[in-house]
Structure 1
Amino acid sequence: MIGIVVPAHNEEACVRSCLQALAAAARHPDLGGESVEIVVVLDACTDATGVYACAAGATTLSIRARNVGMARAAGAQALLARGARWLSFTDADTVVSPSWLVEQLALRADAVCGTVGVVDWTPHGCHATLLAWHFQQTYQDADGHSHIHGANLGVSAAAYRLAGGFRHLACSEDVALVDALIASGASVAWSAKPRVVTSARKNAKASGGFADALCHAVVQRLEAVSQPRFSPLPSLLNP
């Protein structure tokens, strides 16, 4: 069985699209009919996220931690207890491609770190064009990249257990897990083949995550162009 974990804190606006895409990925014919279970971890949700998740056929698990590391770990543990051989992780504001699971498994690695794409930059208003350009210039959406995103991550059950699982971190829990995987000797594929599209929202659900990185990039660019001599800024290796 393949397990998918989706941490969520008040994501009623986007969780339905996320789960529809996951359901399509779970039905991909190249999975050979293997069962796929989706767990949405409701972390201190006070909206209809859980209602929509149940309506979509996902299993829900409620915690009150406001900690994405704890949410991912709780979802992973629940799926491991049900016999999952592979764990895939994404976010509630992310839409995966129909071949997302197939592409992760096809890489035949202990873990897969995928990239993210962004289609809609309008949440950043007048800075949307600037941020889209910055992302295009600095983000490496290709095999051999060095990005780590909880929105596009996969790991075998055995490697996850050996690495000790997700630490209970409020941010960068994905980076900590990959570091632990590498330290344990796991093979990690850095691939752009498993495709996802994530949101460019300004209001971060987890401090220090992708949304914060995008807002920081806007500030950096505005400061840079205000200088008498403009020079390119460093890329966002792990937004």
Structure 2
Amino acid sequence: MKIAIVIPAHNEASTIMDCLTSVQLAIEQLPSTIIAYPLVVLDSCTDETLSLIRSAQVEYKIEYLTCDYRCVGRVRDLGLCHAIANGANWLACTDADSMVSADWLTQQMAHIQQQPTDMICGVVSVNSWAHLSSQTQQAYEAHYQDIMGHRHIHGANLSFNREAYLAVGGFSPLACHEDVDLVKRFENLGYAITWSNKVRVTTSSRLQARAKEGFAAFLANLERSDLQ
């Protein structure tokens, strides 16, 4: 098996190395029979993200692409199509402001071995509540189901096989909710989806959203509601 971990990045100099370090640790847990590598897709970066990627390219065996889309759906699809063209048959997605768990990939492989699946939707944990109100934390935790069989969808923790991804037409060119759209098309075509809380990612609690209706915007809306 060959796994590509596709990571879109737009001005993520402050977080990208923590993300890549966590991905490297997850790769190191895999058996030697499985090839895995990170593929960073830099979208309209004007900070030091590209310089950091180049500096770490050899150590972390990173591949990277650059584009100027300002559209996360197009960015993810660009990376995934590149990975598929280079032989990847299992595709894992995370985000540049997130850190995957050490067993992130081995848990995916365990799910595939236990019961064949076409897609795995994992869970996310928030990295810090320190700058948010206690009411925001309580509202989030009351909403979030950190259990097997949950129905949460995160582009920062989504993986699937090559054949199914191509069959549904890949990520749509959407600026937000591209992950929800993809999962719905998997469901509509009857592909097997595993909703797992064993496949885990820790993501940033920043409120400055890269995508207008992404996870940061969700937290910001909760915070605004609590402060009113």
TM-score under structure 1 length normalisation: 0.88
Tell me how far 1:73 sits from its aligned partner. 0.3
Cα RMSD over matched residues? Answer: 1.2
Q: Does 1:80 align with 2:84?
A: yes
3-state secondary structure, aligned to 2:5: strand
Cα separation, 2, equivalents of 1:60 and 1:171: 22
Identity %: 40
Give the alignment partner of residue 202 of structure 2, picking from 190, 197, 204.
Answer: 197
The equivalences for 1:1-239 within 5 A come to 1-29=2-30, 31-57=31-57, 58-108=62-112, 109-124=117-132, 127=133, 129-223=134-228
TM-score under structure 2 length normalisation: 0.92
Structure 2 gaps of 5+ residues are none
Give, as a single letter, the amino acid of the residue that structure 2 aligns with 1:194.
V
Instruction: Pick the structure with greater CA Rg.
Output: 1
Tell me how far 1:105 sits from its aligned partner. 2.3
Structure 1 gaps of 5+ residues are 224-239
Number of residue pairs the alignment of both structures matches: 219
Give, as a single letter, the amino acid of the residue that structure 2 aligns with 1:45.
C
Runs of 4+ in structure 1 off by over 2 angstroms are 54-57, 219-223
Query: Is residue 19–residue 56 contact of structure 1 (8 Å, CA) maintained in 2?
Result: no
Tell me how far 1:71 sits from its aligned partner. 0.6
* Larger strand proportion of the pair: 2
